[in-house]
Amino acid sequence: MAVLICPECGAENTPGDEYCWSCRRALTDVEPVNDAVQDEPLGGHLDELLNSEEDLPGLLHALRQDGNIDGEQGDAEDVQSGEFHDSLGQASSGQSGREEEIPEWLRRIRQRAKQEKDSIGEVTQKISAAQESLADEKRSSQHESYADWIERLHQDFSQEQVAKDSAEGAPTGKAGQLPQTEDPEWLAKILKVHGKSVEKQDLDSLSTERLGGNSLLQWLVDLESGKEKLEPLSEEEPPAAKQSGDAVGEGDQNERTVDGDTTQEIRIKKGTSVKPVLSISRKEQLEADLISATIVDETAPRAMRKFEKPGSPWVIRAAVTVILITALSLSLFSGASTSNLSGSLKPQHRALITWLEQLPAESRLLLVVDYHAGFEAEMALIAQPVLSKAVQASSEFVILSSTESGVLLVDRLLQDIDGFETLVVSNAGYFPASNFAAFGLGAGIDPSWRFVHAPDAVNGLPQGDFEGILVLSDSYDGAKTWIEQLYAQFSEVTINLITTAQAGPLLLPYYESHQLGGLVSGLSEARQMTAYLNVENSTSHLWEAYRTGVLMMIIVIVLGLFFMSDHEGQETDRSKGEKA
């Protein structure tokens, strides 16, 4: 199957893709390559390979496969022959070209692994473990393994020749010896591929003089011992081999199926010794490609524009800060706002006011405090008008806090309210919301199911009936949790929410679903409530400063849009210049 190999990250893409799925590089200039080497197991017979332009490693692999078909060799020999195959691959590329033979993605992974031990993860660890264990294991026995394999190959070939000769009626030599006068055509192919092109008539002399009179086997032994050397393949490599090499890492990679899962054999090349064989799955190969692409992202120059946010000088920040604080201070200390209120009360405000007006005398309220010290000012502004009305009608507040400083904060809040002195305030304690819910679950257990003398979970909950619940919260999450838990346990009691501006819009759906009786959030709503309930507080003093701050925010956003668009224009011009 033809594939498009991304030159940027090496990922495979289907023909017709305009961009690489991995790194988004344009693939319009990439030619499709044949992926047959990866997709199909290399199991062809020698005759088929001889009819095609194969490189030496592929041909020798075919020899090994041919030997397997004859049934003499087991799985263990795959490793041995694979190592031999690898050694030939190394020899063919020469000493100087050894580094170039390592696939690009593997070289990058190794570099990264040297810098950061755990940066690559499982694939690199697997490679390293395989290198160490297999190198130790095979180092002592590799020569014997090669000798055995070569001997078997020799015997198989001799048997084939004997059978062939007997079928043709020709005289045969001694079993186990190759006839020196009939060197096979595939040997000429091997030599031709590696720059040792010889004519048919020269094979006799090659067999006797160059190869020491023992044909291919002796030549292979010489290769192993270093007497014989091969020319580099770089310029004469057949196109098919080059394509597969680009795709999977210098062509030193085969594919096979083990237990239904497709795995690839990658021969790790390092130094001069024979390297172990590593089997990795298709998924691992893709992950390695992704890692490679990530590394490329970090190091290689990218076509994609890099947005480099210029850090604004501290002088500018200081100037903006001074302007902001000065403007806010002037508007803050210039006096209370005299601007008229606009707009009518929203339904959630009206509902809250109605609930306050209908509160029975001497009522008992549960006050849930779920705000932090940072929002004390805002919460005080919003809650003060509501609590002022609630204090007038109530006789007891039960305070339940789910923040560390909740009890302290609500004490300060209530002290500023008229009539607080006559109120009975009970501290129910510090209750993280999940803690409250756990007690609620325990309290819901049927009494008949309770174990004897087990601690009573109900003791952990605020006792008694409440005329209403007020939740004071500064965040969406906290308010949501309390609404959920309280609605489940006190479904008959009206729950009202007083919250900051940042949580208000997100909590409005709980009012729409009638889980909340009323809701008020933010300074503008607090100002309306204050005016309607005719309660004195400092909302009007802060209102002008608030409006000034909002105005400045709008100015900053508009200026930011201009500067950002100008900056983007410069970046675009720069990227165009780089492309040119």
Which residues in this chain contact another protein in the complex, by CB under 8 A? Answer: 12, 14, 17, 19, 21-22, 286, 290, 314, 317-318, 321, 325, 328-329, 332-333, 374-378, 381, 404-405, 429-430, 434-435, 437-438, 441, 451-455, 460, 474, 480-481, 483-485, 487-488, 500-506, 509-510, 512-515, 522-523, 542, 545-546, 549-550, 553
If the CB atoms of residues 12 and 54 are measured against another protein, the closer one turns out to be 12
- Shortest Å, Cβ 46 to another protein: 33
Neighbours of 34 (CB within 10 A): 15
| 432's tokens | 């993280």
Report the number of secondary-structure helices (H) and strands (E) in the chain: 22, 12
If the CB atoms of residues 186 and 430 are measured against another protein, the closer one turns out to be 430
- Shortest Å, Cβ 554 to another protein: 10
If the CB atoms of residues 419 and 505 are measured against another protein, the closer one turns out to be 505
- Strand bridging mode 363-370 / 277-281: unpaired
- Shortest Å, Cβ 111 to another protein: 24
DSSP secondary structure, 415-448, as one string: HTSTTGGGSEEEEEEE--HHHHHHHHHHHTS-GG
If the CB atoms of residues 221 and 438 are measured against another protein, the closer one turns out to be 438
**Phi and psi at residue 394, to the nearest 5°:** -105, 160
- Shortest Å, Cβ 421 to another protein: 22
If the CB atoms of residues 237 and 474 are measured against another protein, the closer one turns out to be 474
- Shortest Å, Cβ 439 to another protein: 10
What are the respective helix, strand and coil percentages of the chain, to the nearest 5? 55, 10, 35
If the CB atoms of residues 121 and 569 are measured against another protein, the closer one turns out to be 121
Query: Side-chain half-sphere of 56: how many Cα atoms within 13 Å?
Result: 28
Under a CB-based contact definition with an 8 Å cutoff, are residues 198 and 192 in contact? yes
- Shortest Å, Cβ 498 to another protein: 14
Residue 576 Cα distances to 8, 570, 572, 580, angstroms: 20, 10, 6, 6
Nearest one of 517, 518, 475, 480 to 499, comparing CA atoms: 475
If the CB atoms of residues 140 and 491 are measured against another protein, the closer one turns out to be 491
| 242's tokens | 């080059």
Encoded amino acid at 80, one letter: Q
Nearest one of 359, 370, 355 to 396, comparing CA atoms: 359
Residue 423 Cα distances to 362, 433, 526, angstroms: 10, 26, 24
If the CB atoms of residues 21 and 563 are measured against another protein, the closer one turns out to be 21
Strand positions, DSSP E, 371-487 = 394-401, 424-430, 468-473
How big is the CA angle at 257 (ends 254 and 261), to the nearest 5 degrees? 115
At 555, is the secondary structure helix, strand, or coil? helix
- Shortest Å, Cβ 379 to another protein: 10
Encoded amino acid at 462, one letter: P
If the CB atoms of residues 193 and 516 are measured against another protein, the closer one turns out to be 516
- Shortest Å, Cβ 110 to another protein: 23
How big is the CA angle at 89 (ends 83 and 91), to the nearest 5 degrees? 105
If the CB atoms of residues 34 and 515 are measured against another protein, the closer one turns out to be 515
- Shortest Å, Cβ 415 to another protein: 15
If the CB atoms of residues 186 and 487 are measured against another protein, the closer one turns out to be 487
**Phi and psi at residue 167, to the nearest 5°:** -65, -35
- Shortest Å, Cβ 57 to another protein: 27
- Shortest Å, Cβ 5 to another protein: 13
Strands across the sheet containing 12-13: 12-13, 2-5, 33-34
